Amino acid sequence: MTVTNKRIIFKEYPKGLPIPGQTTTFDASQTIDLDNVPLNGGILVKLLVLSLEPYIMARMQPFMPNMYQIGDMIECFGIGVVLRSEKPAFQVGDHLHGSYPFQEYSVLRQTESFTKIHNEYNLPWSAFVGIAGLPGKTAYFGWKEHSRAKKGEVAFVTSGAGAVGSFVIQLAKRDGMKVIASAGSDDKVEFLKELGADVAFNYKTTKTSEILTKEGPINVYWDNVGGETLEAALNAAAKHARFIECGMISAYDGSSKPIPNLISIIIKEISINGFIVSTLSPKYLETFEREVPALVASKELMYREDVTRGLENVEVAFGNLMKGALTGKGVVIMADK
Residue 134 CB, nearest approach to a second copy (Å): 14
Residue 302 CB, nearest approach to a second copy (Å): 26
Residue 219 CB, nearest approach to a second copy (Å): 15
Task: State the pairing for strand pair 237-245/218-223.
Answer: parallel
**Exposure letters 252-271 (e unless 16+ CB within 10 A, then b):** bbeeeeeeebeebeeebebe
Q: How far apart are CA 297 and CA 102, in angstroms?
A: 29
Among 18, 247, 319, 330, binds a second copy (CB under 8 A): 247
Q: Quick one: CA torsion of 21, 25, 31, 35, rounded to 10 degrees?
A: -130
Among 12, 210, 269, 286, binds a second copy (CB under 8 A): 269
Among 271, 300, 309, 323, binds a second copy (CB under 8 A): 271
| Interface with a second copy, residue 272, by CB under 8 A | yes
Could you say which residues in the range 37-76 bind a second copy, by CB under 8 A?
58, 63-65
Among 70, 89, 92, 276, binds a second copy (CB under 8 A): 276
| Interface with a second copy, residue 258, by CB under 8 A | yes
- Report the candidate in 60, 77, 78, 80 with the shortest Cα–Cα distance to residue 69: 60
Among 109, 193, 257, 323, binds a second copy (CB under 8 A): 257
Could you say which residues in the range 98-127 bind a second copy, by CB under 8 A?
none
- How many residues in total does the chain contain? 337
Q: How far apart are CA 231 and CA 235, in angstroms?
A: 6
Could you say which residues in the range 180-239 bind a second copy, by CB under 8 A?
226, 230
- Residue placing its CB nearer to a second copy in the complex, 58 or 108: 58
Could you say which residues in the range 279-308 bind a second copy, by CB under 8 A?
279
Q: How far apart are CA 87 and CA 40, in angstroms?
A: 10
291 CB-contact burial (10 Å; exposed 0-12 / middle 13-18 / buried 19+): middle
Of 109-117, 163-171, 267-275, 299-307: span binding a second copy (CB under 8 A): 267-275
The three-state secondary structure class of 61 is coil
Residue 260 CB, nearest approach to a second copy (Å): 4
| Interface with a second copy, residue 260, by CB under 8 A | yes
Q: How far apart are CA 72 and CA 58, in angstroms?
A: 16
Give the CA angle between residues 112, 252, 334 to the nearest 5°.
50
Residue 242 CB, nearest approach to a second copy (Å): 10
| Interface with a second copy, residue 251, by CB under 8 A | yes
Residue 93 CB, nearest approach to a second copy (Å): 36
| Interface with a second copy, residue 270, by CB under 8 A | yes
| Interface with a second copy, residue 16, by CB under 8 A | no
Beta bridge partners of 82: 45
DSSP type of residue 313: G
Residues that bind a second copy (CB under 8 A): 58, 63-65, 226, 230, 240, 245-248, 251-252, 254, 256-276, 279
